[in-house]
Structure formats: C-alpha cells, structure tokens
Amino acid sequence: MGAVKRWGFVAVAEAMLAHKCAYSTPVCGRVWADIYTIEDTRPSRTATTLRAASRHSHMVTIAGLASNRGRNLRNVADRAPGGAELGVVVSNSADAPVLDWADERGIPSEVVERGDDESRESHEERILDALAAYDFDIVCLDGYMRVLTSTFLDAAPTTLNVHPSLLPAFPGMDAHEQVLDAGVKTTGCTVHVVGEEVDAGPIVTQEAVPVYTDDDADDLKSRVLYDAEFKAYPRAVRWFAEDRVTVEDDSVTVEGDVDAGLPERRVTSEDRYDELRYGENPHQDAAVYVDETCDEASVVGAPQLNEGAKGLSYNNYNDADGALNIIKEFDEPAAAVIKHTNPAGCATADTLAAAYADALATDPMSAFGGIVALNRECDAETAELIVDSFKEVVVAPGYTDDALDVLTEKKNLRVLDVGELGDRTETYTEKALVGGRLVQERDLWTPTLDDLEVVTETEPTDEQLETMLFAWKVLKHVKSNGILFAKGTETVGVGMGQVSRVDAVELAAMKAEEHAEGKDAQGAVMASDAFFPFPDGVEKAADAGIEAVIQPGGSVNDEEVIEACDERGIAMVFTGQRCFRHD
C-alpha cells in the first residue's frame, strides 16, 4: 500500500472494515506500513495484538475519559510511562476539575454531556465524533462514571480502566466498603481491558496494598490510589507503549513478564519484627522487618541470649549483618571484628580463640565498641578474649555454657545465636533509593588459584597465593575504595572508603604501622578491590613493605603498574573481577 499517513482512530476503524491489516483489531490510532491484503469482515476485539517495528518505535498517545478530577490520568501524564503522552481529555461533566487541569497543561479537552433522555449508544457516538479530530493509540478511563457499550468499544482502540480492588473480588461501586465488610487483609487495584460487562475484562496488571485493622473507607481510598493505582496504571500504559501486550480472547499476556532473577515486577511483603529505639541517629525513627521465608543464618530474629540487655539498635543490626556475612566466607575457624560495617580485622586459624586474637590485633583501637562475629560455637577461651575489651554485640552459631557464663557477665553485651550457618541461600541484595530500589546479584564470587593470572616477572609463593585468596574474601566486605594488607590468613591493615585508591593504600599502611599489634606490613600481601589507575598505589605499597599484590587488572595503565612491580621485585596477579562495595 506504500506510505501510510497518520490517521485518527475513526478513519482507522473505517479503513479496517475494508482492509485486513497486520493487527487483528484496531488497537492503534495510527495505521502502520505493514497493512496488507483485503478482507471484508469487521475484525473481532477478542484477538488484539500490538505490533511495531521495534519496542520503542513510536510514542503512544492516550485519549483519557474522566468524570471528575482524573488523578490517575494526571499521574500518567506527569510520568509519561514508556514515552506515552496524554493527547486529549474527554469528560461527560462540564464541571470536572480534570478539564481545568488539562487547560493549564495545554492538553486539548472535550465535554460531551449526556442528555436526560439520551441513550448510551447515542452519547457514545457523540464522544466518537468529538474524538475524530484527534490521533491516539489507546483509551484510558479514570473515574469515568458511565458503562461503555459496543458502540464505543468496537470502534475505539484498546480501552483500559483501573478498578480499586483486586478483581474479580469486589467489582462495581463501593469497592472499599466491600473490602472492609469482607474483612480481607489485602486489597489493591486492577488495570483491565474494558468490556461491556462491568469490571470483567481481561486483567493487564494488579497492585496489592495491606488493609489495617483501624482502616476506614477513606484510608483505603487514599492508600489504594497512591500506593497501588499510581503504580499499576503507569505500568500498564508503559507495557502498551512498548508493544509488549497481547489481548487474546479473555486473557492478557505481557512479553517479558516472567519469573526471573530480576523480574519485570516484584511483590514483596515483610513483617515488622521490632521497633527500634531509633535509626542511625536519635532523631530518626526505625524498625526492623523480617523475611520469614529466609532460610539463611541471619541476625534478624536471632535469639538474644543475655536476658535484660538492651535490644539491638539500627546500627547494631547493620554491623552485625556485615560481620556475619564476612565469616560466612570461610570454612576454617574464623573471626571478624566490624565497625561501621567495615572490618577492623579478620582472621582464620586452627582455633577460634587464635582467629579472634589475630583479628583483634589488626586494629584494637578501632575494634573498641565493635561487633564480633564467629563461624564456630563460641567457647570459654574465646569469650574471655572478647570481654577483655568493650564490644557491642557477639554473633555466633552457638555458645558453650561456660562461654555464656563469661559473656553474660557484661550487662549490655548483646549475645546473638544465629544457629547453624549452612549455605548462603539469599542470592540478591537491595538498596533503597529515593524513588526506587537497586537490586543486584549478591557478590558470592571469590577467585580460585585457577582464576589468578600472574602478570609479573616475580611469581608469588604458595604462601602468598594462600594469603591472596584469604585477603580477597575479606576485601569483598570493605567499603570502596578498599585496600587490604594481609599476612598468612590474618589482616594487617585495612584502608576503607577512600575516594582515591592511593589514599586507601596509605591508610592501610598507616593502620599496619601505627595500630596493629604484634604484626606489620613487612612482607605482606596487598589486595585491591579494583585496578590501579597509576603506578603510585603499588609504589606506596612497596614503601610500606608489600611483596605481593592481588588486584582485578583492566586499567589502560596496567603495563606501567606491572613495570613498577617488576622494578621492585613484587609479585602481582590479576583476578579479572573486581569487588566494589559502596554501601
């Protein structure tokens, strides 16, 4: 047919009476260049397939129908999901506030009020006439207080509505009152394709919200609008804008809306485990929530064995979680001391007491008031070492009776029993953002000997290789930019959270020189969580006594860094992977 111009939906409907096109039904207000062949029958609305050259090949325009404020339409217009725009607003009430809003936004509007004795079909024909001058791809209803008939639905593009309940439950009017009368504990909203039967069209998407014991209808109305409808309607529009929706018979499928590690949408639910005294600071309210489906050893819900001690604070939970995550890295007896989620020291040894002593000796000053984590049942010998200086929390998979006798003598030392450590089953981590949430795979990767690439003339010794693998497991839990010095299987100095990598090296060197007890950086291994952009990092490390380096590699200046190591007889390996940690 050659090039096809942009048409209004009435022209499309008329054209499709005479021509069969690539669409099974007139879902769009534009005719695309893939129209072909001829058919004399009107297409059915029960097989709607959106197609386009690519997912983002065109911008979808919406015709909105509203009888009152049109808050969902306004929200969709503000968010422009998938690049969609609101092209025209139609109301059956001249007094509808949405009309004033549309005028302020420069969005065309039409008023088509129904006459007292006018039939629905006649009224809808006049709406169609009013819309004939506009180009649009989809119709969105928002509080449109009229039941549409086939007169409109057969001529218009796909028409969506949002209903304030989880259909098919509680259809029709007064949904919130129905919810409260039924005593259900969860409600929400449903975006569905509009049909002639009220609230019975195929469902596009839903969003759930809780119902609380003291809720009334106004509470639910507000929560459903802001927490459910304002999420679900833009999501549905975005899916249509991205040409991902197929409506067929009485069902809707969405391309990509499948169960996956990072799915298209997520529904999460957690129960408040405890209200905390305050958050990170005394002026911040806080609570801790529990995921009852988590099988991995966790500090959330772990029994606190010293009765009478104050509960964990927000910072205690955060640090204790970080400490527990470090010692889960090791099969050998391991201990870690954490301060502000960074390791002040970590070590493995033949006994738990020796591991704790080595970890503490890395930086006893910073360990003051810290969190201790152990990966074995705490015995009395280890407990005696722990209480020798001030600690906030001890986390372990169990305690001997003698160890508990020692630890509970400290009135406010919180003693947590997390049970058997077992496998690390939680595979994703999250970070809340203002207006969103980051979700990523948990960093469970650690290098093996086979992963290490020796890039220097000097090859590392077997002992240095063992230290490299130990250091990397600890380094994963150091805030970036992170540098770690280690000897054997114990830390010597930790440089964390620096905006310059060379500063992190200097910090680790200073810690090893000034704060470590009974050990120093002479002959130690240095681990870096990312590549060295310049040779200065290894030069500073060499000055501190470092004799081997493990780092990801990948800098444009790798050769210069390698040369600096060769000049100083330093062995260096690349892992090919970095281990940034930013929170």
Q: Express each pLDDT in 173-198 by its tens digit.
A: 999 999 999 999 999 999 999 999 99
Q: Binning pLDDT at 50, 70 and 90, where does residue 304 land?
A: very high
HSE, side-chain direction, 13 A CA sphere, residue 471: 30
- What mean pLDDT do residues 523-551 have? 98
d(CA 78, CA 51): 26
pLDDT digits (tens, 9 = 90+) for 120-142: 999 999 999 999 999 999 999 99
User: Which pLDDT does position 249 carry in this prediction?
Assistant: 79
- What mean pLDDT do residues 541-567 have? 98
CB atoms within 10 A of CB 314: 18
User: Which pLDDT does position 371 carry in this prediction?
Assistant: 97
CB atoms within 10 A of CB 562: 21
The angle formed by the CA atoms of residues 55, 56 and 61, to the nearest 5 degrees, is 110
Q: Three-class SS of residue 492?
A: strand
Q: Which amino acid is at 87?
A: G
Q: Over the Cα atoms of the chain, what is R_g?
A: 32
- What mean pLDDT do residues 333-338 have? 98
- What mean pLDDT do residues 269-285 have? 95
User: Which pLDDT does position 58 carry in this prediction?
Assistant: 61
For every residue of 317-341, DSSP letters joined together read HHHHHHHHHHHTT-SS-EEEEEETT
| Domains of the chain as residue ranges with CATH | 61-254 (3.40.50.170), 294-417 (3.40.140.20), 443-574 (3.40.140.20)
- What mean pLDDT do residues 353-376 have? 97
pLDDT digits (tens, 9 = 90+) for 138-182: 999 999 989 999 999 999 999 999 999 999 999 999 999 999 999
Q: Binning pLDDT at 50, 70 and 90, where does residue 50 land?
A: very low
Average pLDDT, the chain: 90
Helix spans in 19-64 (H)? none
Is residue 48 over pLDDT 80? no
d(CA 256, CA 82): 15
Q: Is 19 a catalytic residue?
A: no
d(CA 239, CA 203): 13
HEC secondary structure over 52-84: CCCCCCCCCEEEEEECCCCHHHHHHHHHCHHHC
When mean pLDDT is compared across 29-38, 185-194, 210-219, 298-307, the lowest value belongs to 29-38
User: Which pLDDT does position 40 carry in this prediction?
Assistant: 32
HSE, side-chain direction, 13 A CA sphere, residue 400: 12
The burial class, CB within 10 Å (0-12 / 13-18 / 19+), for 146 is middle
Q: Three-class SS of residue 137?
A: coil
Is residue 30 over pLDDT 50? no
Do residues 480 and 580 touch, judged by C-beta distance below 8 A? yes
Is residue 118 over pLDDT 80? yes
Return phi, psi of residue 321, to 5°: -65, -45
Do residues 442 and 427 touch, judged by C-beta distance below 8 A? yes
Is residue 55 over pLDDT 70? no
State both tokens at 509.
């060197």
Is residue 27 over pLDDT 50? no
- The answer to whether the pTM exceeds 0.75 is yes
User: Which pLDDT does position 307 carry in this prediction?
Assistant: 86
Q: Percent of the chain beyond pLDDT 70?
A: 90
Is residue 29 over pLDDT 50? no
Contacts of 155 (CB under 8 A, 6+ apart): 9, 10, 13, 26, 128
Sign of the Cα torsion 509, 510, 515, 517 reads: positive
Do residues 66 and 225 touch, judged by C-beta distance below 8 A? no
User: Which pLDDT does position 77 carry in this prediction?
Assistant: 97
- What mean pLDDT do residues 257-278 have? 91
Chain center to CA of 439: 3
- What mean pLDDT do residues 201-228 have? 97
pLDDT digits (tens, 9 = 90+) for 454-492: 999 999 999 999 999 999 999 999 999 999 999 999 999
Contacts of 146 (CB under 8 A, 6+ apart): 67, 92, 114, 120, 123
User: Which pLDDT does position 250 carry in this prediction?
Assistant: 85
Is residue 89 over pLDDT 90? yes
State both tokens at 508.
């680790």
* Of 19, 58, 123, 163, catalytic: 163
Cα torsion 554, 560, 566, 569 to 10°: value is: -80
- What mean pLDDT do residues 206-224 have? 97
Cα torsion 10, 16, 17, 18 to 10°: value is: 130
Do residues 209 and 188 touch, judged by C-beta distance below 8 A? yes
Residue, of 510 and 2, whose pLDDT is higher: 510
Cis preceding-peptide flag for 281 (omega within 30 of 0): no
